[in-house]
Structure 1
Amino acid sequence: MLKRNGKNSNYGIIKTALSEVNHLEKTIVIADYLTNSTAEELKRNQIIYLDASGNTFIKTENIFISVEGRKSHLNKNTNHSRAFQEAGLKLLLLLISNPETLQLKYRELVERTGIGLGSVSNIFKELKANHYLLLTNGKRILKRQDEIIQRWVVAYNELLKPRNFKIRMRTLDNRLTRDKLLANSDLMVYLSGELGGELLTGNLKSKNYTIYTSEELSSVAREFKLFPDKTGNIELYNKFWNDNLELKIGTVAPPLVVYADLIGTGIDRNIEIENDCVSEKVVTFKRLEIFHSTCLNLLSNVSFFVEITLIFLA
């Protein structure tokens, strides 16, 4: 399986893809870049991996090779495209969550996203140039949505989500409940992550809380009796989508955001149910998708890996 990168934010994507592989012992993960935590997870699961810096883990019945600590000299920002920068992420969230908006005029999309008119125009041009957008019979059609979602999840976790982080908190007695959050009528808060996944699918018992809101931090803390704690299980983020984005459940963040938050944790129990969060509102994510560009850019490194392997095997 080839991956453009194995960053913390898309370890969940790798894990999801591997869950559909019948023989993990015959699987090799090849990436241009692997973080230490992703490499450790792969190693813990006895999965062979190689990266472009020469870091590798190979453990079989007769062979054990482990190379660690080689730094990557590659540019780790793989989403240079406008479509996967802040404005593009907001626009794509609307288009994927509410597909009918794909046919709106640019000015209407500006109103619904809060991004500039020039940004909307440039993003659509880029989507078309990269074969993500098709114009036929006067209608716009979003193509390769599985690939768009995969790139959106990675860019969101690395770019947009950190920018909107407010604070990590906890309750005094660690007893903030789903019912308490849902019973709140004065504050607009939107639930995501584990709790959002629980509400969307019913298949997850939440231990951690991810909350998006535009309310004052002091008001939220007072309402739910929260206290700052760097190790707390409650994370607060600024709400970054407009109110006119149609939500599946009024108190839950958009399914794509819930999906991305679950994937971003890298926690197995969250990854197992992430696809349920988007199946009704977002096109089903096709796992094991291998991009042409990834293959081409990694081919130059294949001979290097083979050479190293042969040297060690000898």
Structure 2
Amino acid sequence: AGQPRYTRMAVNQLKYMVSNRKNYYGVFAATFISEESKQICSENGIGFIDLAGNCLFKFDNVYISIGGRPNLYPNTRPLRSIFSTKSTRALRVFLCNPKKEWFVKDIAKEANISLGQAFNIKQRLLEFEFIEETGSGKNSKIRLKNAELLLGKWSNNYSYRKNKIRNFYSMDDVEVLERKLIDYFKESQISYAFTLTSGASRVAPFLRYKRIFTYVSNNIDRMAKDLNFKEVSTGPNISFLEPYDEGVFYYL
């Protein structure tokens, strides 16, 4: 399906094949060619075409470009496996340590996943060029290559509704509530992480919002009772998310 790593390998072969041949022009063909693979072809002077009809032919006085046609045979399984529950633990490790190089066994340990899972995730991430290998043989390590692309793909394959959400109401305003929650979490030694608008405001403090979203590890009923929160079906100003996986608390 034109995954970037395989595209790059094919493009390099095509470049070599046509380099010493006059009047030859290399064209890469696949079931569907992603935007990343199109860029690889264009940067290397190679044309492309897929079964959807997207194409680029650019040589001599010829220029033909067709784009925007959807994939007729979508296969999302490779991406789904990258963004499955256990796999996202490894993604967080890479994203939180963007310059670090890892052995696969160290990724497995850090992400609290099996060695087999870590190896499979490595292969998938390499296919999409989200990570890259350094060294060779027994000294081979892996590191993050394209954080922006990885985050973009992850956001397209994620919904916060994967978490169990419980909604509450309090008479306090947002600032008071957040301070109260932070103090309670610390005193009770409860793992937590503000998210959505509440999390974004930590990065962009000019953001205004009237509803708090936070991951919490447990004890929601006890917490609601202690803080005098009322569970509601409409009009909440506090939403607790029971995380779909404990990996959301990594690096916090």
> Same fold per TM (> 0.5)?
yes
Shift of 1:143: 2.2
Name the counterpart of 1:131: 129
Q: Bigger shift: 141-150 or 116-125?
A: 141-150
Q: Is the 8 A contact 1:83 1:127 kept in 2?
A: yes
1:160-199 mapped onto 2 (5 Å cutoff): 161-171=160-170, 173=171, 175=173, 177-184=177-184, 185-186=187-188, 187-199=190-202
- SS of 2:168's equivalent in the other structure is strand
Residue from 201, 217, 223 that aligns with 1:220: 223
- Structure 2 residue aligned with 1:209: 212
Name the structure 1 match of 2:250: 245
Distance 1:77 1:129 in 2: 14
**Cα separation, 1, equivalents of 2:127 and 2:74:** 23
| Higher-Rg member (1/2) | 2
Instruction: After superposition, give the CA deviation of every residue in 1:32-74 in whole Å (9 maximum; x if it has no partner).
Output: xxxxxxxxxxxxxxxxxx996xxxxxxxxxxxxxxxxxxxx98
Q: Is the partner of 2:214 in helix, strand or coil? A: strand
Take 2:248 and 2:154, find their aligned partners in 1: how far apart are those partners?
A: 21
AA aligned to 2:126 is: K
1:233 to 223, 234, 237: 237
- Secondary structure (helix, strand or coil) at the match of 2:129 reads coil
Shift of 1:96: 0.4
Compared CA separation, residues 221 and 213, structure 1 to 2 (3 A) = same
* C-alpha RMSD of the superposition: 3.2
SS, match of residue 157 in structure 2? helix
3-state SS in 1 of match to 2:209: coil
C-alpha spacing 1:129/1:139, structure 2 compared with 1 (3 Å): same
CA distance 1:229–1:82, change in 2 (3 Å): same
- In structure 1, what is the equivalent of residue 116 of structure 2? 118
One-letter code of the match for 2:228? K
Q: Is the Cα contact below 8 Å between 1:113 and 1:241 reproduced in 2?
A: no
Distance in 2 (alpha carbons) for counterparts of 1:219 and 1:128: 44
TM-score if structure 2 supplies the norm length? 0.58
Structure 1 unaligned segments of length 5 or more: list them: 1-49, 53-72, 248-314
The residue type paired with residue 147 of structure 1 is L
The higher-RCO structure (CA 8 Å, 6+ apart) is 1
> Is the Cα–Cα contact under 8 Å of residues 197 and 203 in structure 1 kept in the other structure?
no
Q: CA deviation at 1:97?
A: 1.7
TM-aligned CA deviation for residue 149 of structure 1: 0.6
TM-score normalised by the chain length of structure 1? 0.47
Inter-partner Cα distance in structure 2 for 1:76 and 1:104:
30
Cα distance in structure 2, aligned partners of 1:215 and 1:113:
21
Q: Is the 8 A contact 1:79 1:85 kept in 2?
A: no
Change (3 A) 1:132 1:199: closer
Deviation at 1:88, TM superposition (A): 1.9
Superposed CA deviations along residues 96-115 of structure 1, whole A, max 9, x for unmatched, are: 02235x53333433333233
Counterpart of 1:154 in structure 2 is 156
Tell me which amino acid in the other structure corresponds to 1:182.
I
Structure-2 separation of matches of 1:96 and 1:169: 32
Unaligned runs of 5+ in 2: 1-67
Aligned partners of 1:238 and 1:246: how far apart in 2? 18
Identity of aligned residues (%): 17
Distance 2:102 2:94 in 1: 10
In 1: Cα distance, 2:141 partner to 2:121 partner: 17
Deviation, 1:206, is 2.6
- The 3-state SS of whatever aligns with 1:103 is coil
SS in 2 for 1:210: strand
